[in-house]
Structure 1
Amino acid sequence: MTIPVKNTMDKKQAITAAIVVPLIICAAASVYFFVGSLEEEHEDNQTIVIVTIVPQQEFVEKVGGDKVRITVMVPPGASPHTYEPTPGIMKEVTKAEMYAKVGSGVEFENNLMEKIISNNRNMNIVDCSEGITKMGNDPHIWNSPVNAKIMVENICNGLVKIDPDNADYYTQNKDNYLEELDTLDKYIHHKLDGFSNRVFMTYHPSFGYFAKEYNLTQLAVEYGGKEPTPQVIQDSIDESTRYNLRYVFVAPQFAAEPCKTIARAIGGETASMDPLARNYTSNMKQIADSLALEFEE
């Protein structure tokens, strides 16, 4: 007599399951889409900022905090002298409220800034170089922490202009980061000021502003983006020998073979020195540490 009862319960359980399981699935889906909509709403509340080069990303992050979303036009490992933006990156431009350009004559901006602006004429264009004394045609202003402070000030002013409700937030973040850059500047001075040897060689002349700030002499293998000729390489070997150099520094954006040729000729070695690294303050410290190894007698 128990068997019919069991069959009855199985039917009831099956009916219950047929009703309850879809309800659970629908409820879970509702939660999923609700959470997703909250995430989208959170993203929509962020100010979209475009920057040209990777080091600027830290500048904007430090000032904007969680109130900004950043897109970098020239990605890590690419050179702003030659890079062409993808359609996906150009689509991001149409959503942006601010573009922080380097403003110092970076080839990417020289070639494409008008096209970028034409994709979104409502963007606030911030010239990060405003207030910086330029050195001829050298666009690498960010490689001086003192210049970086001015760039950060300009970025802060731009964010305050488009989002005045959060002016105090941006200003406090900016002041905190300027203190970090002051500490960085002191670190570099402490690391390098005591050396009598103050000459270094790099493949591309990316560190002219750094050299000027810290009273150093930069020797570059190539200028103007031209592949060095055998005579240029020989001249670099002669200069390296003259100054008793042990390292030839090369950035990851450039071919290392000419530097290896010079290093072999002088009995030295190549070393990486990146002008476009992601973590600005730690990278500047690493550059100072690398130069200290060159300057040691």
Structure 2
Amino acid sequence: MQLYKKALALLFLTLLVTAPLSSTALAQKPVVFVSILPQKYFVEQIAGDTVQVEVMVKPGASPATYEPLPRQMTMLAKADMYLAIGVPFERTWLPRIKATNPDLAVIYIDKTLRKLPMTSNAIEVDTNPRGALLLNFRNSKAEHDAHASAHDQKKQVHNHEGMLDPHIWLSPRWVKAMAKPTRLALTKVAPHHATQYRINTRRFTKRLDALDKDIHAIFKAIPAEQRVFMTFHPSWGYYAMTYNLIQIPIEFEGKAPSPKDLEQITAIAKKRNLRTIFVQPQFSQASAKAIAGSINGSVVTADPLAENWEENLRDVSKKLAASFILCE
């Protein structure tokens, strides 16, 4: 009986000690902030559930104009890492965020990527589509071509007015180029998971290669001259580069088009026999709807910030392919 009581006491003591430790271990999961929802997807493919991922830009908001919520600033003050990807709001807010948490590790996973300038206005693209698309970017045949040195990156910024296109997450090839810096960053906050992260990254890059191959197959039967699409905001430049498409923006030099601009863009849509105008939830659809009405076409949503990134790219690819067939 005495032995039984001792066993019970030992069991009780074990439960008393281990239960708080389990809760503490769970609470001590590294907190990693990312700017946009697709990044959350990328981090989870590499880290699984070993980190707590928090997203700054919530659904429906724009990374160009986003302002963090007070609750997010409170969480950032205690976060372990911020993975920056080069979206506009980071330039304004990351210095402020860093000031509230000097120990926060800010990692720029886009630092070594060769970026495109933002797509020119619709009239320039229509006049010289390949020239506008290929400006400052000559090599796209393999995923390593996405890389550039920091010196090259500074030269690009110096040589072109305005910012470079930040939408690097919309091409599997650029995402593949970001996989390693993401893995290395995560390893810094959770070094005991380094092997797991390496294995997960290999699996993820294989899926990226498969996705890239599948999207190429979706467009394979469509002649190059028909691969033209019109969208309000020029988010799809890297995607268009990867899959030999031509993106014609409605947004004119970063602003909604004037009535005169809208008239010219509508004429381009008619000339190219376009029947679908692509929009994203983060921007006004008024101009797109006006053009669609003038060409007897339709407005279709293609969200560049969807969290279900892989499924979303397949879905957008199928929508684009269907729109190209309508142009025949």
- Report the TM-score when normalising by structure 2: 0.77
2:174 equivalent to 1:193 = no
2:119 equivalent to 1:138 = no
2:272 equivalent to 1:280 = no
Alignment correspondent of 2:35: 52
Question: In percent, how many aligned pairs have the same letter?
Answer: 39
1:165 to 192, 197, 200: 192
**Which is higher, the Rg of structure 1 or of structure 2?**
1
Alignment correspondent of 1:69: 52
Q: 1:42 to 1:236 in 2, by over 3 A?
A: farther
Q: 1:224 to 1:75 in 2, by over 3 A?
A: farther
Structure 1 position 37, deviation (Å) = 5.0
Structure 1 position 46, deviation (Å) = 1.2
What's the CA shift string for 1:4-41, capped at 9, x where partnerless? xxxxxxxxxxxxxxxxxxxxxxxxxxxxx999956742
Alignment correspondent of 1:21: none
Q: How does 1:1-297 map to 2 (within 5 A)?
A: 37=20, 40-103=23-86, 106-136=87-117, 137-196=164-223, 197-296=226-325, 297=328
Structure 1 position 171, deviation (Å) = 0.9
Structure 1 position 194, deviation (Å) = 2.3
Contact (CA 8 Å) 2:183, 2:197: kept in 1 or not? yes
CA-based RMSD: 1.8
Aligned counterparts of 2:177 and 2:215: Cα–Cα separation in 1: 18
Aligned counterparts of 2:275 and 2:69: Cα–Cα separation in 1: 40
Aligned counterparts of 1:147 and 1:45: Cα–Cα separation in 2: 32
Aligned counterparts of 1:143 and 1:157: Cα–Cα separation in 2: 21
Q: 1:257 to 1:277 in 2, by over 3 A?
A: same
Equivalenced residue count is 263
Alignment correspondent of 2:158: none
Aligned counterparts of 2:255 and 2:297: Cα–Cα separation in 1: 24
Amino acid in the other structure paired with 2:170: N
Find the residue that maps to 1:100 and give its secondary structure.
Answer: strand
Find the residue that maps to 2:49 and give its secondary structure.
Answer: helix
Amino acid in the other structure paired with 1:108: F
Amino acid in the other structure paired with 2:239: F
Find the residue that maps to 1:132 and give its secondary structure.
Answer: coil
Find the residue that maps to 2:83 and give its secondary structure.
Answer: strand
Contact (CA 8 Å) 1:45, 1:67: kept in 2 or not? no
What's the CA shift string for 1:201-253, capped at 9, x where partnerless? 00000001110111111000004541221112112111111111110000011
Amino acid in the other structure paired with 1:135: L
Q: Structure 1: which 5+ residue stretches go unaligned?
A: 1-32
- Report the TM-score when normalising by structure 1: 0.84
Q: 1:37 to 1:75 in 2, by over 3 A?
A: farther
Amino acid in the other structure paired with 1:66: D
Q: Structure 2: which 5+ residue stretches go unaligned?
A: 1-15, 118-163
Contact (CA 8 Å) 1:246, 1:266: kept in 2 or not? yes
Aligned counterparts of 1:127 and 1:224: Cα–Cα separation in 2: 27
